[in-house]
Amino acid sequence: MLGVLAMMGLVACSHEKEPEPDAPPPRVKRVFHLNPYEKDFGYSQAVMIDKTLYISGSVAADETGRLVAPGDMAGQMRAAYSNIQRTLAAHGADFEEVVKETIYTTNMDALLKASDLRFEYYNRDLLPTTTWVQVQRLVDPGFLVEIEVVAELP
């Protein structure tokens, strides 16, 4: 009799539904504009989802969208990194949080000559993954370089 009751208890337990796991919280997409012209041009300077910040390709453009340092690769790289730095700072971050960098250039030789200036922004011991690509042209023919990054925020 005791064995039958134990068996009935096991059968009863096996039919109880386990609670369903909680659904993951919705991912919130937050859009950021560094300069007013970005909305008119049709893009966001950055999008943050959870703690990942995706920064659009940054170029040598000032606050009005005008080309900075025409014909000067190092000057354009500094301007692009400065725009990235402003976007990171607006999110409480800096270059140490950058985990992925992609550099597009119309002149790989000039980029290689100016590449050491990256160490003005990055710690040599904590470099992000990096890809360099030569392209035929960027959105404005005067742009020599465009840099996009992904950062993981603390």
Q: Report yes or no on 20 lying in a domain.
A: no
The residue range of the domain holding 140 is: 26-152
Print burial letters for 41-61: b (CB count within 10 Å at least 16), e (below 16): eeebbbebeeeebbbbbbbbb
Cα of first residue to Cα of last residue in the chain, in angstroms, is 61
The predicted-structure confidence for 90-142, as pLDDT tens digits, reads as follows 999 999 999 999 999 999 999 999 999 999 999 999 999 999 999 999 999 99
Is residue 21 domain-resident?
no
- Evaluate whether residue 16 is within a structural domain: no
Does the global pTM surpass 0.85?
A: no
Q: Is residue 107 part of a domain?
A: yes
Domain count, the chain: 1
Which CATH number covers residue 102? 3.30.1330.40
